[in-house]
Amino acid sequence: MTTTQVVNPATEQVVTTLELVSAAETDAAIERAQRAGADWRAVAPGDRARLLRRFAEAVDANLEQLAQLEVANAGHTIGNARWEAGNVRDVLHFAAGIPERLLGNQIPVAGGVDITFHEPLGVVGVIVPWNFPMPIAAWGFGPALAAGNTVVLKPAELTPLTAIRLGELALEAGVPEGVFQVLPGKGSVVGRRFVTHPAVRKVVFTGSTEVGKEIMAGCARQVKRVTLELGGKSANIVFADADLERAAATAPYGVFDNAGQDCCARSRILVQRSVFDRFLELLEPAVRGVRVGDPSAESTEMGPLISAAHRARVASFVEPSTKVAFTGTQPDGPGFWYPPTVVLPDAPSDRVLTEEVFGPVVAVVPFEDEADAVRIANDTEYGLSGSIWTNNVGRALRVSRGVEAGNLSVNSHSSVRYWTPFGGFKQSGLGRELGPDAALAFTETKNVFIAT
Ligand code: NAP
Ligand code: MG
């Protein structure tokens, strides 16, 4: 029996010890999910909707407990953790609207009737990273269940606690046994089986681009469907005509939220050269003012990194030769802390500009004009999100169309709403989650012609 210790990253204390699921147990769970699928897809749309609504209500009734679990397991600030549990509830309520609205087409044809159906795929495997354990899980299992699939879900080994609780809440809400199973275990064991087991018809993966490529290649052997949400190196583009005070005051939260462990982190701030110095002057107090510390305190804005190993990786981006403009604060004592850090790269090839740091390190770079801003923003393998700060509506729209990224915000840093589509261009991913079409990613379109 392999076990894992779940560690609180703010205190380095062991929260609990868990047994990890083996390959044989994974196979058994996948086969249970396959058997449960026959009944689940036959549940009347209104009844499936009602079960998802009850699941949402169970999440809401346990929102504070889920949030506290995430604070202890992932070091998320309590404010963020409450939002994340609320997001699971909202995704489930939105998903509850799907079964009765999974509309097909009736297409005019000669000699008969032609109709389309959105058939469930079967068993869906969801592989979740440690950075947003609750929302990322729900973006997969909510619409997948709504469309009539059964789900096996693997949380990250570092952060399994909220997913395990969500699995219990589904059962308490009346979701039948085998329909939604949470399997804490290793990526190389449980995650790998999702890719290789032929009964799993789709893999939804969020995590590193490196592992995502491996998963895509593995799935290719069975032409298995995949949705991939991978890394990012998003740009926050600040034009001279923007409200500079607001752009500077909000920029830290666009990158340091969740300690920068966010695929949407705006980890490159591009500033028009004419206001570059002024922007840095305004940014400094904003960065120093980020409240870093005990994530369970209501006023805390940034907690620790997830692990000692991850902190070492983040720290490796700030080399002795790196020009550090200024840093924020970090508490003393135990915990995997790293301060908000602003760096001024020497060259476009600097690692801190080309690789995803996944920590509270942001690079600030000047640009000349609109075309230069778009060119720099697109000078990356990634294309997940980004922000554009300007008071010129035409420019906001031109630049929004020019930046190769899936999720942009103008004069804001918001990326995610459960009712709008989310996903990446280029090596940031494949497919979309959330939004009006969320369920279609978990169905096959079937066309039926009936001769009359
Ligand atoms: P990762 O290795 O990509 O892990 C993500 C998930 O995939 C985890 O549940 C992991 O399981 C699982 N996994 C790992 N190898 C697998 C395999 N061969 N087959 C199937 N599943 C597998 O990410 P990480 O190592 O935690 O983080 C590394 C870097 O990835 C970060 O520093 C960051 O740059 C990036 N990242 C991006 C996101 C994002 O939201 N886009 C999220 C997380 C990480 P276990 O970890 O439990 O073994
Ligand atoms: Mg890994």
Q: Is residue 417 in a domain? A: no
Query: What are 353-401's pLDDT values in tens digits?
Result: 999 999 999 999 999 999 999 999 999 999 999 999 999 999 999 999 9
Coil vs helix vs strand at 44: coil
Host domain of residue 142: 3-230+426-451
Asked if 386 and 351 sit in the same domain, the reply is yes
CATH code, domain with 106: 3.40.605.10
Asked if 151 and 291 sit in the same domain, the reply is no
Asked if 200 and 290 sit in the same domain, the reply is no
How many CB atoms lie under 10 A from the CB of residue 441?
A: 23
Instruction: Report residue 272's pLDDT band, with 50, 70 and 90 as the boundaries.
Output: very high
Asked if 88 and 199 sit in the same domain, the reply is yes
pLDDT recorded at residue 373: 98
Asked if 401 and 444 sit in the same domain, the reply is no
Instruction: Report residue 13's pLDDT band, with 50, 70 and 90 as the boundaries.
Output: very high
Instruction: Report residue 415's pLDDT band, with 50, 70 and 90 as the boundaries.
Output: confident
What are the Cα distances from residue 47, in Å, to 42, 152, 361? 10, 21, 48
Determine the average pLDDT of the residues in 288-307: 98
Active site residue 263: yes
Q: Is residue 280 in a domain? A: yes
Asked if 45 and 190 sit in the same domain, the reply is yes
Which of 211, 255, 262, 416 to mutate to test ligand 1, by most ligand atoms within 8 A of the CB atom? Answer: 211
Provide the domain count of the chain. Answer: 2
Say what the pTM is.
0.98
**Proportion of the chain above pLDDT 90, given as a percent:** 99
| Paired strand residues for 361 | 341
Active site residue 229: yes
CATH code, domain with 381: 3.40.309.10
List all residues 6 or more positions away from 94 whose beta carbon is below 8 Å from its beta carbon.
142, 418, 419, 438
**Which of 70, 84, 219, 263 is the catalytic position?**
263
Asked if 260 and 203 sit in the same domain, the reply is no
Asked if 397 and 439 sit in the same domain, the reply is no
Query: What are 323-348's pLDDT values in tens digits?
Result: 999 999 999 999 999 999 999 999 99
Q: Is residue 418 in a domain? A: no
Asked if 193 and 244 sit in the same domain, the reply is no
Average pLDDT of the chain is 98
Residue with the smallest CA separation from ligand 1 atom 32 is 358
Query: Atom of ligand 1 at shortest distance to CA of 306?
Result: 26
Asked if 240 and 149 sit in the same domain, the reply is no
